[in-house]
Amino acid sequence: MSEGRDKEEGYSYSLVHKVEEVIQSNDAIAVFTENNPRGEQIFIAYFKQEDGHWNWKQTRGAEWDTPVKWSAMHQEPYIYSGAISDSSIKEVFVGREKANIIEVEGDKRFWYAVSDEKDVEVKMVMEDGTQEVVEELDDEMLEESTDRFNKR
């Protein structure tokens, strides 16, 4: 994926965050935003280096201001992620793992956590110390965009 514009389709992309050696020495995670006809969405992609080339393995996405805030990749590594537009959220936990929170722009933040477990509880800790278990994002919501990236 190249950062910039795809004028034919009317999409633009911007890299927000990247980390190499996430689980092993030949993998990486990239977080990026996509502006498209539906508005702005944010995605996390998992890459693995094979035979000297980076291969796109999995992608999950989220939208800002949705009532349900997270999704997970359905094969290993299990990467849980979601958008945060509520400034009162201080921390996110995936099972016992504390998620990484990335400042995107303004009050928009994005979190992710890598887990070796499937189907763990996701909990948000608010500034006042209260905790809230959060339900998973409906798969159909972003299926179209996620499928497009998984095919690349």
Beta strands in the chain (DSSP E): 4-6, 11-20, 27-36, 39-50, 53-63, 71-72, 78-84, 89-94, 97-98, 100-105, 108-115, 122-126, 131-133
Q: What is the pLDDT of residues 90-149, one digit of tens each?
A: 999 999 999 999 999 888 999 999 998 999 999 999 999 999 998 776 555 445 545 555
pLDDT at 36: 85
CA 146 to chain centre: 11
Give bridge partners of residue 80 from the DSSP assignment: 72, 113
pLDDT band at residue 5 using 50, 70 and 90 as cut-offs: very low
Instruction: Indicate if the pLDDT at residue 88 is higher than 70.
Output: yes
Average pLDDT score, the chain: 85
